[in-house]
Structure 1
Amino acid sequence: MTLVKSTRIESIDLLRGLVMVLMALDHVRDYFHFDAAVHDPLDLDTTTPVLFFTRFITHLCAPVFVFLAGTSAFLYGSNRTKANLFKFLFTRGLWLIVLEIGINSLNWTFDFTYSFIMLQVIWAIGVSMVCLSFLIFLPRKIIALIGIVLVAGHNSLDTIVLEGQSFHSVIWYMLHQANGIPIGETRTLFFGYPVLPWIGLIALGYCLGTLYTKGFSPSLRKTWLWGLGIGSILLFFILRGINVYGDLVPWSAQDTTVKTVLSFFKVTKYPPSLAYILITMGPSLLLLHAFEYVKNKFSDFILVFGRVPLFYYFLHIFVIHIGAIVGVLLFHDNGMALLSAITENPIQGLAAQGYSLFTVFAVWLGIIILLYVPCKRYMIYKISHKNKWWLSYL
């Protein structure tokens, strides 16, 4: 199927679209898998290799979102003044924070009392954009240096652990230590995505945008992407092999070879460790390299999701959540369990009524197909209404 013509860079949108499709797999698992509310899929004592991989492959998603947000910011600002780029990044970052609190929390829980608000990837991108809006005034080499220091150096702060609700503790939860605080007597605010390494990653993504400037040699760009991708993967294996620095939890020998391998690849996401970023961004850069000249029906399908990322993100959570409730209504007789799932703990309640991993994959594919038409229609609308400034915020 031929897509509407766009000036966007297809390899970037293709990578973004691919990881967004993978992201839906993880979220379907959250709501549909029978074990989702009971055990961590990365728990070596209870997981299986297939379940572990189902979760591990979706690790690509958040780093790619944040990194490409930086790259897109560079491209957006390539024909605008720094002042205009600052205004866009600052206001869009604040808007994303508002959407995280007002829409995303509701999407996940359907709890109109907002008793539990988790600040997730949309929050991380929003805060990172606000910070990037100030960094853009620095020389690009300095921005790259700041990005490298934050990504590579933040694990040196792992031993700093704070408790309580003091101002310093809350700031630390925001920056580096996933934790929650009560708000009044009935609400909890949880900082699920501490932002320090994410700020570093968006800064590096911004610098990568240089490779996509007009007139930059495609062959040289592919050389850079290949070198950075392979280098990141090799550095991951070196750091993980030494097992001294780069992740909050060192790997260890297990009672079976398979579990030992899984332990080696079990890296920390909250906040994302250096090892986590290396093993996710390395393959992602290689995918950017591979997607440079890809053009076929499958890539056209995936591109649709990559061109409307925010619309897709909120829509897919809503559809998955509704689908899980419909599943309970159709296949279970206990109406009180459904009521409890909606009003008390949606994910845990729904997962208690869950299904096999095979069903999870089937539902995932069905939801992706279902979302294609509304996403494509919105994509066409955005392309044909470029003069509407507000669309850049959606």
Structure 2
Amino acid sequence: MKVKSNRIESIDILRGLVMVIMALDHVRDYTNFGYFYTDPTNMDTTTPVLFFTRWITHFCAPVFVFLAGTSAFLYGSKKASKKDLAKFLFTRGLWLVFIELTVVNFAWTFDIGLGLHIFQVIWAIGICMLFMSALVYLHKKVLLVLGFLILFGHNLLDGITMQGNDPLSLLWYFTHQQGFPEFNNGESILLIAYPFLPWLGIMILGYCFGHFYKKGFDVKIRKKALLYFGLGAIALFIVIRFINIYGNLTPWSEQKNMTYTLMDFLNTTKYPPSLMYALMTLGPAMLFLYAIESVKNWFTNFLVVIGRVPFFYYILHLYVIHLFGFIGLSILGEDWKELIDTPHRDASEFLADKGFDLWVTYAVWIVTVALLYPLCKKYMVYKANNRDKWWLSYL
């Protein structure tokens, strides 16, 4: 069914692509040997195939957050006032934080007690939207400078570290340092994987980037900008990463051969996202937008569907993948309940020597996306035909 839409297809295509790739990493968590306990970026234990299976998914979170900022700008460009935009960002931000700590957390753990409180990408987008609800009142040039200051300067804070679960430490974990504080004798654990500050910088820049997609903007100028931004970000990444002094929590080093040295060079910090991580991922994303501007075929049509209902897809894919994990563990002859992730079960590391070969991960990934596509298409059509329902903008 053809759906009429004023949405910008190239943005939806990119968003759809990263959503599809994202599912690969999450399927790996629930199927691959070692489950959550194997680190694909550990140069002493990984393989090139495992490393690049993880590395390709690094593009997902920064592109998703960046485009969330772009979408906020485009949403605001259709509103009569900044107040309307600010209200939407504030309420949607609160909604996303709530969903992360309930619906999303349960999808990850299947623990009714929710002993693990996981703060990941949905939380990061939500909290950044709360800040953006105030920041949108700033002049665009001020916003642009602020975004670049955060992106290029936040690694100066890497040396500040906290320990424990006191209020100051908690504030720092949520702001810039990944942390896992425990409470109530380990019965409740905060898994703060996405400190918000660097993500806020990425969202601010995404918001400013929306200027290039305003109605009536010259396509030739946009494509030229995308090309320069993309090549410039990649060049900066290579130069700064090669210098190996600033921009990442850990430096790269020469490994046992050229392949592993390249892998370590590309092994940038995601938690929190370093300057190198952002340049490495957002640069190619700009080039993709440049290349895909006028492309239309069956594959882009496929990606558009998922890109137009990313939140719906995100929630569903977590539950489907976790259910596949239960099935897989049962096939291995193990108790499927071991994939109900509680603080105690998580600490047992029972799954560290269980799991399937990587080809199984890829097979389950393809099946997962194939199952979700028709559901996403139906929901996309429903949204397009019910634009008068305000609550759909929150889903």
Cα distance in structure 2, aligned partners of 1:44 and 1:352: 19
In 1, the alpha carbon distance for the partners of 2:141 and 2:356 equals 50
3-state SS of paired residue (1:118): strand
Query: For structure 1, which segment, 287-296 or 227-236, has the greater mean C-alpha deviation from structure 2 after superposition?
Result: 287-296
The 5 Å alignment of 1:238-253 reads: 238-253=239-254
Kept in 2, the 8 Å contact 1:12–1:288? The answer is yes
> Counterpart in 2 of 1:366?
367
How far off is 1:343 after superposition? 5.7
Give the secondary-structure state (helix, strand or coil) at the position aligned to 2:118.
Answer: strand
Contact 2:34 2:354 in 1 (8 A): no
Aligned length: 390
| Matching of residue 177 in structure 1 with residue 144 in structure 2 | no
Q: Counterparts of 2:17 and 2:172 in 1: how far apart (Å)? A: 33
Which residue number in structure 1 is paired with residue 108 of structure 2? Answer: 108
Structure 2 equivalent of residue 281 of structure 1: 282
Q: Does residue 338 of the first structure (1) align with residue 323 of the second (2)? A: no
Answer yes or no: is the 8 Å Cα contact 2:244–2:252 preserved in 1: yes
Q: What does residue range 1-394 of structure 1 map to in structure 2 within 5 Å? A: 3-80=2-79, 81-185=81-185, 186-329=187-330, 331-334=331-334, 337-342=335-340, 344=342, 345=345, 352-394=353-395
- Once superposed, what is the RMSD of the aligned Cα atoms? 1.4
1:84-134 CA-partner distances (Å, limit 9, x unpaired): 000000110010000000111100010011111110000000011111111
8 Å CA contact 1:20, 1:61 repeated in 2: yes
Q: Secondary structure in 1 aligned to 2:5?
A: coil
Q: Distance in 2 between matches of 1:71 and 1:346?
A: 37
Output the amino acid matched with 1:159.
G
Worse-matched range after superposition: 33-42 or 144-153: 33-42
1:162 shift after superposition: 1.1
Once the two structures are TM-superposed, the CA of residue 342 in structure 1 deviates from its matched residue by: 2.3
Output the amino acid matched with 1:49.
P
Could you tell me whether the CA contact under 8 Å between 1:44 and 1:263 is conserved in 2? yes
* Paired residues of 2:34 and 2:351 also in contact (CA < 8 A): no
> Does the CA contact (< 8 Å) of 1:37 and 1:352 recur in 2?
no
Is the 8 Å Cα contact of residues 38 and 352 (structure 2) preserved in structure 1?
Answer: no
Counterparts of 1:144 and 1:19 in 2: how far apart (Å)?
Answer: 25
Residue type at the aligned position of 1:26: D
* Deviation for aligned residue 1:351: 6.7
Residue pair 1:248, 1:268 contacting (<8 A) in 2 also? yes
CA deviation after TM superposition for structure 1 residue 181, in Å: 2.1
Overall identity of the aligned pairs, in %? 51
Mark the CA change 1:351 to 1:9 in structure 2 (over 3 Å): closer, same or farther. Answer: farther
Residues 144 and 358 from structure 1, CA distance in 2 versus in 1: closer, same or farther, beyond 3 angstroms?
A: same
TM-fit CA distance, 1:350: 5.8
1:216 & 1:99 partners in 2: Cα distance? 35
Deviation of the 1:349 alpha carbon: 5.2
State the secondary structure of the residue aligned to 2:180. strand
**Which is worse superposed, 134-143 or 33-42?**
33-42
- Classify the secondary structure of the residue corresponding to 1:305: helix
Instruction: Name the aligned partner's letter for residue 109 of structure 1.
Output: T
Report the residue type matching 1:178 in the other structure: Q
Which range moves more in the overlay, 10-19 or 257-266? 257-266
Q: Displacement of 1:3 after TM fit?
A: 3.6
SS at match of 2:181: strand
Report if aligned partners of 2:35, 2:351 keep a CA contact under 8 Å in 1: no
Q: Normalising to structure 1: TM-score of the pair? A: 0.96
CA contact (8 A) 2:181 2:189 kept: yes
In 1, the alpha carbon distance for the partners of 2:99 and 2:106 equals 10
Alpha-carbon deviations, 1:112-165, whole Å to 9, x = none?
A: 111111100000000111111111101101001000000110000000011122
Indicate conservation of the 8 Å contact 1:33/1:351, yes or no: no
Contact 1:66 1:198 in 2 (8 A): yes
| Structure 2 unaligned residues grouped into runs of 5+ | none
Measure how far apart 1:346 and its partner are.
7.2
Letter in 2 for 1:251: W
1:359-385: CA deviations, max 9, x gaps? 111111111101001111011100000
Partners of 2:218 and 2:69 in 1: how far apart? 21
Change (3 A) 1:87 1:177: same
Distance in 1 between residues matched to 2:350 and 2:374, nearest whole Å = 30
User: What are the Cα deviations for residues 50-85 of structure 1, in whole angstroms up to 9, with x where unaligned?
Assistant: 111100000000001110000000000102110000
SS in 2 for 1:37: helix
Q: Structure 2: how far apart are the matches of 1:36 and 1:52?
A: 14
What secondary structure sits across from 1:300 in the alignment? helix
Superposed CA deviations along residues 164-191 of structure 1, whole A, max 9, x for unmatched, are 2222111110010000222434111121
